[in-house]
Amino acid sequence: MQQVTSQPATPQLTRRTIAKQPQFSGLAHVEPIADKQEGPSCGFEAIENIIQLFHRLGNDLTRRELLPLAQWYGVAASEPDGFALDVSGYQPLLADFGITARWYPFNAAQVVIPALNANRGVLVVGDAHSLDARTYPRAGSGHAFVLTNYYTDEAGELILGFVGLDSNFARTEIAWPAERVEAAAAWGALNAVGYPVLVTDAPATWPSVARYYRQLRTGQLVPVF
């Protein structure tokens, strides 16, 4: 798992204060659906990943079906190195695969973590530089990525960040500190879409479910089942 280190989130963000449900759950072991994007296709790949959480489909879905559909809808923007998916096309493409979803503001305690606890598909539109400045050195670079779970301190109490998929990293899950995801989403709310978090209405059917990830003192993240 690719990891990005930073300071922990605020002490108020804990499993005890967030969780109102008797059971915790989240998606785990999603490496098989993490394939590397080609050109500016992060939106396509993020939508592909959400669809794959519901349906057993291969990693060629973007090229084979999503891009032709987006071109038909008029939401595929041609750029010098490929096609980008306009955010207005996210919901229609998901709907074509029987998945309804709604846009929400980024609120870790009231939106994002409850959605992850309920196994919902969660996609964020934000600033790649805020998310990972080493990988994305240019500020104000729009990016779509998927959250599948969150991680805590070693005691399993303090929520430190999120786990998910970034289409610039193939065959791996990424761990992001909570404040970086929040900063990325704040940029998305101002520059890309008013509500930057797209959450599916129904829970995903991905077979591997973890309650959360726990960060050991060594920095390693392990899923807790």
pTM for the structure as a whole? 0.90
pLDDT 10s digit of each residue in the chain, 225 long?
A: 655 444 434 446 787 767 555 455 789 999 999 988 777 889 999 999 999 999 999 999 999 999 999 999 999 998 887 899 999 999 999 999 999 999 999 999 999 999 999 999 999 999 999 999 999 999 888 999 999 999 999 999 999 999 999 998 988 999 999 999 999 999 999 999 999 999 999 999 999 999 999 999 999 999 999
CB atoms within 10 A of CB 208: 13
b/e sequence 36-56, b meaning 16+ C-beta within 10 Å: ebeebbbbbbbbbbbbbbbee
